[in-house]
Amino acid sequence: MTVATIARASGICRSRFQIYVPILAVASLLLGNLASAAGTPAGTVIDNIAEVTFDLNGTTATQQSNVASITVEERIDVVVTLQSGQVLVAANDANRSLLFSVTNTGNGSETFSLAIDSILAGDDFDPVPAVPAIYFDTDLSGDFSAGDVAYDPGTNDPNMAADESVDILLVNDIPSTALNGQIGRSELSVAAGTGSGAPGDSFAGQGDGGVDAVLGSSGGLAVQFGEYLVSDVQMSIVKSVLVNDQFGNQDPIPGATLTYTATVEVTTGAATGAAFRDVVPTGTTYSANSILLNGGALSDAVDADLGELDTSGAPTVVVRLGDLSQADGIQTIIFQVTID
C-alpha cells in the first residue's frame, strides 16, 4: 500500500470532489453556449469525472474518479472570399473597389495584417493601387465611399473574435492604357499576427489565455484576388409612367392602368447580350400581352420572340435586346400594369 493510495481515499480528497462537481456543472452550461462554428473556444478547460456505483455487503455506494482535464489550444485559421464578383470599369477610372470578406475561422481572437498586390500573373493589365489602397467597408455599402476608414498597417490591424468577419475594400485606379474587354487582377492577402507558415506549426503560449497557438489548414495566411473588367459600353435608360384610370382621368386609383415607357440607348461602345429586366411593381398586376418593343408586340410566353414575362420569381418584364451599339439607336420598351 502506498501513501498515494491512502491520500486518494482520504476524506480531504473526497470533500474536494464534492465542491468541484457543482462548479463543473455551472462551467458546463456556460461553455455549452459558447460553442461555435470555429470550434470550442481556445483556453476552454474540459474536465471529466467518471462515476461508479456498486453493491458491497448489501449496501449501494457511489464513488467518483479523479478529474481528467484537457485544455483547448488556439487554432489559427483565416479565410478571404471575394464578395464583389467581376467589377466593370472603364479606362482612366479612379478609386474603383473590390469587396472582400475576411473571416477568422480559428477558435480564438486574432489580429490580422492586410496587404494588397495588383501586379499579378494571369491578367491583361495591372490596376494601380490608390494611396491608401486598403479600406474597411465601414459603412457596409459594399463600395468605396467617403465614410470608409483606411487601413493603416500596425495601427488598426483588425482584431477579430472567433467566427467574426470584416469587409475589406481594395481600391485601385484603372490605367488609361487598359482596353475594352481586358481584365486586371488585384489581390488581398491576410496574415495572422501571431504568425503564419506550415499547418501544424506551433507558437508556445501565444494563444488566448496563454495556451499554445497552432496554425490550422490555412497556415495563418489567406490570399484571394478579384478582377476588374474593362467595359467601355455605356448605356442610358430613361423610364416614364402614364396613368389612365377607368373614369377617363389620370388618377392612380385601384383599377387604373399604368403605362411604363423605357428608352434604352447605348451611348458608347457595343454591348453584347443586353437584356432589359423590370420587376412588375408591388401592388400592381401586369396586363397580359402588353409588351411592345419599338412598337411591335412581344408575347408573354418564353418563346422565340425577344420578350416575355418571367414568373420564376417576382413577375418581371424581360426584353432581350441582344447585341446593341450606338448605331442601333434608341430602343423603346412599353408595358402596362393595373393598380390592384
| Contact footprint for other proteins (CB under 8 A) | 1, 3, 5-6, 8-10, 27-28, 31-32, 35, 38-40, 44, 46-57, 59-61, 63-73, 75, 107, 211-212, 214, 216
CB 47 → other proteins: shortest distance, Å? 7
CB-nearer residue toward other proteins: 72 or 166 = 72
Q: What are phi and psi of 220, to 5 degrees?
A: 75, 15
Which neighbouring-strand residues pair with 327? none
CB-nearer residue toward other proteins: 28 or 236 = 28
CB 41 → other proteins: shortest distance, Å? 9
Query: Which residues lie below 8 Å from residue 97, measured CB to CB, with a gap of 6+?
Result: 84, 87, 135, 143, 144, 169, 170, 171, 172
Q: What are phi and psi of 306, to 5 degrees?
A: -80, -10
CB 42 → other proteins: shortest distance, Å? 9
Distance CA 76, CA 202 (A): 10
Q: Is the preceding omega at residue 22 within 30 degrees of 0, hence cis? A: no
The answer to whether residues 256 and 234 touch, using CB atoms and an 8 Å cutoff, is no
CB-nearer residue toward other proteins: 58 or 122 = 58
CB 198 → other proteins: shortest distance, Å? 15
CB-nearer residue toward other proteins: 213 or 293 = 213
CB-nearer residue toward other proteins: 14 or 239 = 14
Query: Which residues lie below 8 Å from residue 282, measured CB to CB, with a gap of 6+?
Result: none
CB 20 → other proteins: shortest distance, Å? 13
SS3 76: strand
CB 218 → other proteins: shortest distance, Å? 14
Place of cell 472582400: 100
CB-nearer residue toward other proteins: 57 or 155 = 57
Distance CA 305, CA 294 (A): 13
Distance CA 74, CA 335 (A): 60
